[in-house]
């Protein structure tokens, strides 16, 4: 094998390893998504309460 072939083979192995790592992390993040146990962990803007005022919705909450 020439040096060029070895470099191409190493790049292919690195790309395959990186792809498998990304899949693993995505799967792991999907499992851990709802397991924090803290209320309001999604963020302050994602709450969907009935008493939220939406200024551009064209309706008013009384």
Domain ranges in the chain are: 1-29
Assign 60 a pLDDT band (cuts: 50, 70, 90).
Answer: low
Give pTM, 2 decimals.
0.46
d(CA 28, CA 22): 10
Q: Which of the two residues, 62 and 16, has the higher pLDDT score?
A: 16
Radius of gyration of the chain (CA): 24
Assign 16 a pLDDT band (cuts: 50, 70, 90).
Answer: very high
pLDDT, average across residues 32-61? 60
Query: Exposed (0-12), middle (13-18) or buried (19+): which is 31, by Cβ within 10 Å?
Result: exposed
d(CA 19, CA 13): 10
d(CA 15, CA 46): 36
């Amino acid at each position: 094998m020439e040096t060029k072939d070895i470099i191409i083979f190493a790049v292919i192995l690195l790309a395959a390893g990186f792809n498998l790592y990304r899949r693993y992390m995505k799967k792991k993040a999907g499992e851990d998504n709802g397991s924090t146990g803290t209320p309001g962990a999604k963020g302050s803007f994602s709450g969907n309460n009935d008493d939220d005022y939406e200024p551009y919705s064209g309706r008013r909450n009384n």
